[in-house]
Amino acid sequence: MNNSIGLLKAEVLSELEKDILPFWLDRMQDPAGGFYGQMDGCGRLIPDAPRGGILCARILWTFSSAYRILGKAEYLSAARNAFVQIRDKFLDRQFGGIYWSLNADGSPLDTKKQFYAIAFAVYGCAEFFRATGEEEALEMAISLWRSIEDHSLDVEKGGYIEACTRDWQPIEDMRLSAKDRNDAKTMNTHLHILEGYTGLYRVWKDETLRRRLVELCDIFMDRIVRPDGHLGLFFDEDWRSQSDMVSFGHDIEASWLLCETAELLDDAVLLARVRDCCSRIANAALEGLQPDGSMIYEGTPAASFDTDRHWWVQAETVVGCLNQSQKPSGGWLNKAIRCWDYIKNHLIAPDGEWYWSADAEGIPNTRDDRAGFWKCPYHNGRMCMEVLEKY
């Protein structure tokens, strides 16, 4: 086992430092400030593309974490570049929160308040503070956390609503993307609020924040995780499920993020419950694991599954399987390594970064972005850093 982990660590360190981070440093930083918004699947930069708040916040988290772990000045410079773009361009000085998107010149484009995006800004700012100790970043993270608490928290029924207008009024279309359902509450937003709040609690031990994290763990265990172990994805305000779709990537991602939160909270009873729940989630996710070591995307059992192997799903599969590998049975370490082998063989692009996905035959997808609103260095970069830090 030690030899396998040692080789895995060496390979992911090389991938992180020779491929993922240099791609974003050298090809996606805008000399005028911030980061470009898009590169297509064939590696062509689109400099006038809109710039998404989610992408910028994820870049901020990635380079902050890379600087904290590896200590290189160029990583700090890139993290600060992303932080300044959020502070000076995305942050809504009048109403709070961050804008959904900007034009390429930095002017606001879509000013709605999507709490998923704000949660990622909390995550990124908290990690920047963790890496640098710069109080301004912690103050921003706390302010953004408060905007979620003030405008998204459902005090009566629990959990968080999806979105508001710029000035925090109800909004008709709450969807994250065109493929999502327009429902009041989603697993996806709750997972990433949990993630952002965990990052903040790591550096700011506020009691209200702690209570919210405990509540989020309970929401996942009591409301979101289905009897079959899969995560429910879409809910109305009363937590009635609106879909039977399964997302294998979110299953395996949640199976380790929930554990991370419970470990940080240092509550033995809660941790035991969460670990048991996460084991059920991870085992349910294995229904999507393929003989070649990869994980398929999503679908509905009664209809059909999207069998493409998305980049982020494979990255989360490596981390999720490693998180379960502490168990004496199940072959989880081997599953993680086989998925990493699939990534090396099918997803790492020869001219930088990872392809969006590969199909069932292993042919890379060059139609969708190499970098863009949803295509970022956080899933694959975090996979590498999780391996380096924890195993």
Q: Which phi and psi (to 5°) does residue 132 adopt?
A: -120, -25
Q: CA 370 → CA 20, 37, 66, 250, 281, distances in Å?
A: 11, 11, 20, 21, 30
H-assigned helices in the chain: 2-15, 21-27, 53-70, 73-85, 115-132, 135-151, 187-203, 207-219, 248-265, 268-285, 311-324, 332-346, 378-390
For the whole model, what pTM was predicted?
0.98
Residue 11 in contact with residue 372, Cβ under 8 Å? no
* pLDDT for position 183: 97
pLDDT in tens, 1-59: 578 999 999 999 999 999 999 999 999 999 999 999 999 999 999 999 999 999 999 99
* Average pLDDT for 139-161: 98
Question: From CA 300, how far away is CA 25, in angstroms rounded?
Answer: 39
* Average of per-residue pLDDT values in the chain: 97
Sequence-ordered list of residues with C-beta below 8 angstroms from that of 126, at least 6 positions apart, any chain: 137, 138, 141, 196, 199, 200, 202, 203, 204
Provide the CATH number for the domain around residue 154.
Answer: 1.50.10.10
* pLDDT for position 3: 84
Q: Specify the number of domains making up the chain.
A: 1
* Average pLDDT for 223-240: 98
302 vs 205, higher pLDDT: 205
3-class DSSP state of 99: coil
Q: Which amino acid is at 229?
A: G
Residue length of the chain:
391
pLDDT in tens, 348-378: 999 999 999 999 999 999 999 999 999 999 9
Buried residues in 241-277 as b, exposed as e (16+ CB within 10 A): ebeebbbbbbbbbbbbbbbbbbebbebeebbeebbeb
Q: CA 260 → CA 126, 274, 294, distances in Å?
A: 16, 10, 24
Question: From CA 311, how far away is CA 306, in angstroms rounded?
Answer: 14
Range of the domain at 228: 2-390
Question: From CA 326, how far away is CA 133, in angstroms rounded?
Answer: 33
pLDDT in tens, 178-192: 989 999 999 999 999
* Average pLDDT for 331-348: 97
Percent of the chain with pLDDT over 90: 96
* pLDDT for position 302: 76
* pLDDT for position 121: 98
* pLDDT for position 217: 98
Please choose, from the candidates 314, 327, 298, the residue with its C-alpha nearest in 3D space to the C-alpha of residue 358.
314
Buried residues in 186-214 as b, exposed as e (16+ CB within 10 A): bbbbbbbbbbbbbbbbebeeeeebbebbe
Residue 122 in contact with residue 64, Cβ under 8 Å? no
Residue 303 has pLDDT above 90, yes or no: no
* Average pLDDT for 120-145: 98
* pLDDT for position 301: 83
Among positive and negative, which fits the CA dihedral 174, 188, 248, 315? positive
* pLDDT for position 328: 80
* pLDDT for position 327: 81
